[in-house]
């Protein structure tokens, strides 16, 4: 491999070969590689846990104490149940946030599938009930209006923001945690001096080498993110994390490569994603699904020539069905078309979750193929 051009050509062919290892092209090979990669990862994690067995023992002892507290009867049980409910509620949204940004093949768009619809439901219910004091239970599993009539005045935007702040911030914190792998990968590669396996990191290094000659928009955008993070530091990371930014993985790689301190990177990312960006997204959803905006949107749908009235009817029936449910009249007659929109959304969720699972299988199978190719490189170099 003295000739670098031959090496580059072989790596390109290997990359193309790996990209063809997907379930719809090579199902048996993909499943085999997926299970082998799963076993290797399980072994590696077991070894890591064994090396940190003191931490593991402390965790297990803490877990045993919490389990005993959970099952022992006493006056503390009301606080235990409250903390249990809050813990699982927060863990649910943190987990969804991690899935959204961790990038196992592709991120699951949990904001569009889960958090956005939840905020929209709370917004519609708040305007209909003129209150956010929904009975608990069944909230948050089900939203119904309180029995008592609310005091005079209209519901405020701030009340709705406060109602969904916890889950929104937990989701944002999860997305911040999901951005850590690129940072740690780049930092470890820089400290060890070893050639990294990650293709995004290799692309980043190529971009640094050809920074002055970059002409296309994508390269210049990536370079702008890299310069902002490198030169401005904490506030540059904060700015990148506070706005919808598909290039933020590059910010994590940049921070790791230039050995930015962990708490500088994670602190800025956490504030940007869990506080600033999350409030922007939350405010956008609340305003979009406010009562008068929704009514105007339904009216505009009805104004479409020819197909407008037929498209408008399912939306009107769906909104009417939701109003009936909010006012406890679940036994009332529900319009026949009310499940049409929910059925479509449920099928969309199922399709996107299935695609996410398939992408994880494909990604892990390709990771195993990369292991095999690197092993072949090593064996040929030692000959």
Q: Are 274 and 176 in contact (CB under 8 A)?
A: yes
40 domain residue, yes or no: yes
- In order of 1, 80, 373, 377, 383, the CA distances from 380 in angstroms are 9, 60, 11, 5, 5
34 domain residue, yes or no: yes
332 domain residue, yes or no: no
376 domain residue, yes or no: no
- In order of 57, 66, 72, 248, the CA distances from 62 in angstroms are 9, 6, 16, 36
What global pTM score does this model have? 0.73
- In order of 204, 240, 246, the CA distances from 215 in angstroms are 16, 22, 20
Task: Please state the domain count of the chain.
Answer: 1
Segments forming the whole domain that contains residue 41: 22-72
243 domain residue, yes or no: no
Residue 339 pLDDT level (bands cut at 50, 70, 90): low
Residue 42 predicted with pLDDT over 60? yes
- In order of 25, 39, 157, 197, 309, the CA distances from 35 in angstroms are 17, 6, 50, 21, 52
Task: Please give the pLDDT value at position 330.
Answer: 46
Q: What is the pLDDT of residues 301-336, one digit of tens each?
A: 777 777 777 777 777 677 777 677 766 644 444 444
Q: What percent of the chain has pLDDT over 70?
A: 78
Q: Are 239 and 232 in contact (CB under 8 A)?
A: yes
106 domain residue, yes or no: no
140 upstream amide cis, omega within 30 of 0: yes
36 domain residue, yes or no: yes
């Amino acid at each position: 491999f003295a000739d670098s051009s031959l090496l580059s050509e072989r790596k390109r062919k290997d990359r193309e070969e790996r990209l063809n290892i997907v379930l719809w092209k090579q199902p048996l090979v993909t499943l085999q590689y997926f299970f082998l990669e799963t076993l290797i990862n399980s072994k590696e994690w077991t070894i890591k846990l064994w090396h940190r067995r003191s931490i593991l023992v402390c965790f297990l002892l803490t877990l045993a104490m919490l389990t005993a507290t959970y099952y022992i009867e006493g006056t503390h049980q009301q606080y235990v149940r409250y903390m249990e409910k809050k813990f699982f509620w927060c863990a649910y949204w943190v987990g969804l946030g991690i899935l959204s940004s961790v990038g196992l093949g592709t991120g699951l768009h949990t904001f569009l599938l889960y958090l956005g619809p939840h905020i929209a439901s709370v917004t519609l219910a708040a305007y209909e009930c003129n209150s956010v004091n929904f009975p608990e239970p069944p909230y948050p599993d089900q939203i119904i209006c309180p029995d008592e009539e609310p005091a005079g005045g209209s519901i405020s935007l701030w009340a709705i923001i406060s109602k969904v702040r916890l889950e929104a911030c937990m989701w944002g914190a999860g997305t911040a945690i999901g951005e850590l792998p690129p940072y740690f990968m780049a930092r470890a590669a820089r400290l060890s001096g070893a050639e990294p396996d990650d293709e995004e990191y290799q692309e980043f290094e190529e971009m640094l080498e050809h920074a002055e000659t970059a002409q296309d928009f994508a390269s210049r955008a990536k370079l702008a993110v890299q310069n902002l993070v490198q030169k401005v530091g904490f506030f540059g990371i904060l700015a990148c994390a506070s706005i919808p930014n598909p290039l933020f993985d590059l910010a994590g790689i940049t921070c790791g490569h230039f050995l930015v301190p962990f708490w500088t990177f994670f602190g800025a990312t956490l504030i940007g994603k869990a506080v600033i960006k999350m409030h922007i997204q939350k405010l956008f959803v609340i305003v979009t699904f406010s009562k008068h905006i929704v009514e105007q949107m339904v009216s505009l749908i009805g104004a479409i020539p020819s197909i407008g009235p037929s498209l408008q009817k399912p939306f009107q029936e769906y909104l009417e069905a939701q109003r009936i449910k909010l006012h406890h009249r679940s036994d009332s007659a529900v319009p026949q078309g009310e499940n049409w929109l929910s059925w479509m959304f449920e099928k969309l969720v199922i399709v996107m979750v299935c695609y996410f699972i398939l992408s994880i299988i494909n990604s892990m199978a390709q990771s195993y193929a990369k292991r095999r190719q690197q092993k072949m490189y090593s064996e040929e170099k030692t000959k």
